[in-house]
Chain A
C-alpha cells in the first residue's frame, strides 16, 4: 500500500465516548491531526457490536460489523480511542465473519489498518513527542482488551513520559481486570463490585491525583466507584492528557466547581 503524504484516518468514536465523553473524541482528532493526518468522522457509525457479540447474538453482531466495515474501509487507517473497540475490529471482526469469505476478506483488510489510538500514534505514526503538560502524579490502568488482545502496554507509558511535568506511579496488580466487562457488571454486580473495589483500592494506594486509562468502559466503572467511595481521584482518558486537553472537569465531575468528596457509605 502506498501511503499518501497525509493519510486519511477514519475515527471510530466509540459509543461510550460519543455518549459520555466527547472530549476524548476531540482529543483523539487533535492528536492524530498533530501527527500529520487528515481525520474524518463517518457520521453513520453507531457501535462496533460488542454488546451483541459478547451476549451470543451473533447475527446482530455480524450485521453491525458489516455496517462498520462498509463505512470505514475507504480510509487509510481506522483509529479508536479504546482497546476494546479496536480489538473488536482488529481481532474479532474477521472471526465473526469467517463464514462468509467475501466479508471475512474485507474484515481482514480493515483489521490490518485498524488501531487503538495510542498504539496508532506510537507504533504507526511514530509519535514520540506531545505538546502537553500535566503537573502531578498519575496512575494508569491497562484495559484488558488493549493489554492482552493488542499488546498495548509500553505505548501509553512512552507517550505519557513525554508529557511535561507528569509523573507516573504504577498500580499494584496492574494486569487485573477492573470488573467492567460490558454487560457483566450488571449481570453479576456483586462480583463486578468486588473487582472494581480491588481496583480502586490499588488506585487510592498509589496516592496519584489522577487515574488515566485508554477505555471509557473501565473509566466509567472506576470513576463511578471512586465517586461512590468519595475518593478524590480524578479519572480521565489518556488522550485528554496527551492532547493537552485535560483542563475541564474530570469524568463524573460537573463544570465548573468540582464536587466535594463525600464520606464512604457502608456496603458500597
Chain B
C-alpha cells in the first residue's frame, strides 16, 4: 500500500466533507464507546487487569529474544516451522515460496493488519495467486479495492447501503431482485459467496492476536469464525505476526484476552478464540498438514530501548481509534497508511519514518482519551510528542511553525520584553475587537478566524492591572 500520509491534511479535509463516511463514523461513537463503558463498568477488576496486562507485555518485551526462541522451539517440536523475517520483502517472499511449493492458486486469509503492512495481497496477486479475504469487512473492502480503515473493523467507513451496492457490483450471479436491505441478509450473501472458497484454498493465512511461548500456539480472536475455516481447511496454515505478539504463557494470554474484547467491542469475549498449535496430529479430526509462523520484525526491534518501546505492548484492540476525536472525525483512510488513529500516529512514523508520517503524531490535541482507554496503558500522547521532538530536531517541522515558535520563545525568555509585548498585543487585539468584543479576521491566525471568532481582550493584561492595584505583594512579588 502506497502511503499517502504526507497528504494527511488534504485527506482529512476530503473525509470531513464525505457525507456517507460521516454517517458511518457516527456509529462508532454511539456504539463502541458506549459498549466499552458498559463492559468496563461491569468488571470491577478491569483497572487491575489493565495493569497486569501491561506488565505481562513489558516483561515479554524485556526478554523478547528468550521468548521468541522458546516459541520457535515449541513450534518446531510440534512439527511446525518458524520463519524469521527482518523485512516486509523477506516475509512476502517466504510466504510466496510456501505457496509455490504447494502449487497454491487460491489463498484464504483471515484479517491481518500485518498482511496489509507488508502489502501481501497485491504481491500474491502479482504472482498469479488469488488472495481471498474471509473476514466480512475485509471481503467488502477487497471487492471495493480499498484498504481497511480500522484495525478491527476494516469496513467501518461504509454504510449498509454502500455494502449492498458493493455486493451488487461484485457478487457475480446475484439476482437483481434479491433484497439486500438488512444486515442479516448481507451476512448470508457474503457467506454464500465465501463458503466454497474455503474449500478451494491450498493455503490459509491468518494473523495472530498472541503467540504463546510455552506452547508454541498462535491465538486468534474473531467474531465470525472465518479464521477457523481459514486455518483448518487448507493444506497449510501460515500465521503472519509481528514479533511483539509474544506472551510467555497461556495464562498470560488469558489475562490479556480479558481486556481485549472489552476494550475493542465491549464484548466480554469475542465469539471465537482459537488456539492453533502445530499441524494436524495423527488423531486430530481436522487441521492443516503444515503449520508455518512468519515472524516479522520490519522495524519493531529497532524500537526496543527507545522512547517508543511501549507501543510494542499494543494488542490492536482499536479502543484508541474508537475514542479518538480525530479518528472518529475523519476515519482511517485519511491517515494514509495501514495503522490509524492514535496507535497509528505512534507506530506509522516508526515503520515509515517521521519524514514521511510526521503529520500523524502532530494531528492530536493531546486530549489523552486514547491513553485513558488503552487496555495496555500505552502513553500514546507522550510518544506522539516524542515524534514531534524527533521531527523538530531533524528540522522537519513546518517552517511557519518553527519561525512562529522562535519569535514567541524570544519573548517568553525575556520577562520584561514579554510583559511589554503582551501589553501591546492586548491593546491591539482590543482595538481590533472594537465595540464588538471579538475579531472576525486576524492576520497570521487565519486557521483560527476562518471558522471562529477571536474573543478580544479588554485592552490591559492582568500583569498591568495587578501592578496598578499597587498592593505590597505585587511589588515584592518577583522574588518570593
User: Which A residues contact B (CB, under 8 angstroms)?
Assistant: 8, 10, 13, 15, 17-22, 24-26, 38-47, 49, 51-58, 60, 63-64, 67, 71-72, 74-75, 95, 144-145, 148-149, 173, 175-177, 179-196, 198, 220-221, 223-225, 227-228, 235, 249, 251-255, 259, 268
Chain B: minimal CB distance from A20 (Å) = 5
With A67-B413, A193-B452 known, 19 other A-B pairs at CB within 8 A are: A13-B462, A18-B422, A25-B465, A40-B473, A41-B477, A44-B478, A56-B390, A60-B405, A60-B412, A148-B369, A148-B371, A176-B369, A188-B326, A191-B363, A194-B16, A223-B453, A249-B458, A254-B433, A254-B434
Q: Which residue of A lies closest to B392 (CB)?
A: A56
Is the CB–CB distance between A54 and B425 below 8 Å? no
Is the CB–CB distance between A177 and B412 below 8 Å? no
Is the CB–CB distance between B455 and A251 below 8 Å? yes
- CA distance in complex: A26, B468 (Å): 12
- CA distance in complex: A14, B152 (Å): 42
- CA distance in complex: A20, B462 (Å): 9
Is the CB–CB distance between B473 and A41 below 8 Å? yes
Q: Which residue of B lies closest to A222 (CB)?
A: B452
Q: Which of B415-435 contact A (CB under 8 A)?
A: 415-416, 418-419, 422, 425-426, 429, 433-435
Q: Which of B367-408 contact A (CB under 8 A)?
A: 367-369, 371-372, 382, 385, 387-393, 397-398, 401, 405, 408
> DSSP class of B's interface residues: helix, strand, loop or mixed?
helix
Q: Which residue of A lies closest to B478 (CB)?
A: A43
A-B contact pairs, 21 of them (CB 8 A): A15-B422, A19-B461, A22-B457, A25-B462, A26-B462, A46-B411, A54-B388, A56-B388, A56-B391, A57-B405, A67-B413, A144-B366, A144-B369, A181-B364, A189-B450, A192-B365, A194-B16, A195-B329, A223-B455, A259-B436, A268-B451
Chain B: minimal CB distance from A17 (Å) = 6
**The residue from A17, A26, A179 contacting B365, defined by CB atoms under 8 A apart:** A179
- CA distance in complex: A230, B9 (Å): 28
- CA distance in complex: A193, B390 (Å): 28
Count contacts between A and B, CB distance < 8 Å: 241
Chain A: minimal CB distance from B210 (Å) = 29
* A181: chain B residues within 8 A (beta carbon): 364-367
Asked if B463 is at the interface (CB within 8 A of a chain A CB), the reply is yes
- CA distance in complex: A183, B445 (Å): 10
Q: A188-B9, A225-B452, A251-B455 are in contact. Are A176 and B447 (CB under 8 A)?
A: no
- CA distance in complex: A55, B401 (Å): 8
- CA distance in complex: A249, B419 (Å): 24
Asked if B4 is at the interface (CB within 8 A of a chain A CB), the reply is no
